[in-house]
Structure 1
Amino acid sequence: MSIAWRNALRRFVTPFVLALALGACAPAASGDEPPRLVPAAALDAPAGGSTRQTAVFAGGCFWGVEGVFERVRGVLSVRSGYAGGSAADADYARVSSGRTGHAEAVEIVYDPRVVSYGQLMRVFFSVVHDPTQLNRQGPDHGPQYRSHIFTLDDGQARAARAYIAQLEAAGIYSAPIVTRVDPLPRFYPAEDYHQNFMAEHPRHPYIVRHDAPKIAALERLFPTLVSPERVS
């Protein structure tokens, strides 16, 4: 099944038909890096005494990225959406064309007294996605599936760039990290049917095959960071 056709199915058909259509999704390429516990960030973003801060990460299909961070202790809310494009607006149909410059991303609101920006990045690089894949993750191909950290201030930018350099110097991965770091221009929330997709469709073939293993990896690698209850 072509990526363009699968994207069209995601956008326009009912969840039931979509589940049938995606049952035969291609598996992730053999070169994908497996989940692993990467070192903690040596430099973290300042907490600043706030009780609510925001992080925005892009790492492939936002269903799984959202699903993982909804299970992290200290995370208050997660929204799927689009970030980083040059077009003045974003929706799933246009972003899926790969021509708007946006990436599928998630907006994470968290309590820095409970979980730090550095810990969120550690989860991002350990289990959420493969940061060595350029413009793809698993079966999804295109610039909208790129690895990208969108920063909201200089502290986040310094921490993100330092962490990537730290992981590169440690030789964690078998290929170079391609994760981009840029200021967030604007975050566009995705359509309602994309929000909380993993939680609402746990038996969806795409979720079972590509995203549920990320939750298992989170629980295995970060047992003390896993929240007993999912946030929305």
Structure 2
Amino acid sequence: MTPSSFPDPAVDLPAGDPAERTAVLAGGCFWCTEAVFKELAGVRDVRPGYAGGTADTADYRTVCSGTTGHAEAIAITYDPARTSFGMLLKVFFSVAHDPTQLNRQGNDRGPQYRSAVFYADEDERRVAEAYIGQLDAAGVFDAPIATTLEPLEAFYEAEDYHFDYAARNPFQPYIVHISAPKVDKLRRAYPERLKSGSDA
């Protein structure tokens, strides 16, 4: 399974309308997913946080208990004229995490590490469902896709110290062994989709 074996989305949202959109995706530890998506051209901002639960338990210590219903997620604000929701999904499934793992990513275990697309509207749900169907039809994974499609009720930003965590802690062992290889994989697989110096 390599990113080159992943199809482009056959169903997608219209380009450039509106001028800015936000996608909320959960694929394990948000340190890793944030680091990947911050590299993409057209992505204006990436914020780590919690989706799928309520405000009263949306804090890191409580979410880590796995009992709150939240997933560690990221809110990706992007320019639809430069990238699309479907292309964000392609990177999500091919690079950012392993969508065949149920309620875990590697050694991170629990429903807070689940694979999920939190759709803001019916159009996002339709595109995500269609792309998962494409991946199934293409047989790019040897195991069933475990990604859930969940309506986005709210997104709660994480504590300040989680923002830009990988960039600020490049020598932390988790970042070295888990996060950095995902970023390297993105750079090798999609060099044409990376930010240029003027985007940084």
- SS of the equivalent of 2:26 reads strand
Change (3 A) 1:35 1:142: farther
Matching residue within 171, 176, 192 for 2:160: 192
Task: Tell me whether 53-62 or 85-94 shows the greater mean CA deviation.
Answer: 85-94
Instruction: Say which one has the larger Rg.
Output: 1
Q: Which runs of structure 2 are paired with 1:28-107 in the superposition (5 Å)?
A: 36-37=3-4, 38-47=6-15, 49-86=17-54, 88-107=56-75
Does structure 1 retain, via aligned residues, the 8 Å contact 2:53–2:70? yes
Q: What is the aligned-residue identity percentage?
A: 53
Q: 1:50-98: CA deviations, max 9, x gaps? A: 2110000000000010000000000000000000125644000110000
Structure 2 unmatched runs, 5+: none
Task: Tell me how far apart the structure 2 counterparts of residues 231 and 71 of structure 1 sit (CA, whole Å).
Answer: 9
Normalization by structure 1: what TM-score? Answer: 0.82
Counterpart residue type for residue 101 of structure 2: Q
RMSD: 1.7
Equivalences, count: 199
Does structure 2 retain, via aligned residues, the 8 Å contact 1:151–1:184? yes
Counterpart for residue 119 of structure 2: 151
C-alpha deviation, 1:108, in angstroms: 0.3
Does structure 1 retain, via aligned residues, the 8 Å contact 2:48–2:162? yes
1:114 corresponds to 2:79: no
- SS of the equivalent of 2:193 reads coil
Does structure 2 retain, via aligned residues, the 8 Å contact 1:36–1:221? yes
Task: Tell me how far apart the structure 2 counterparts of residues 223 and 152 of structure 1 sit (CA, whole Å).
Answer: 29
C-alpha deviation, 1:36, in angstroms: 2.8
Task: Tell me how far apart the structure 2 counterparts of residues 56 and 225 of structure 1 sit (CA, whole Å).
Answer: 20
- SS of the equivalent of 1:182 reads strand
Task: Tell me whether 83-92 or 170-179 shows the greater mean CA deviation.
Answer: 83-92
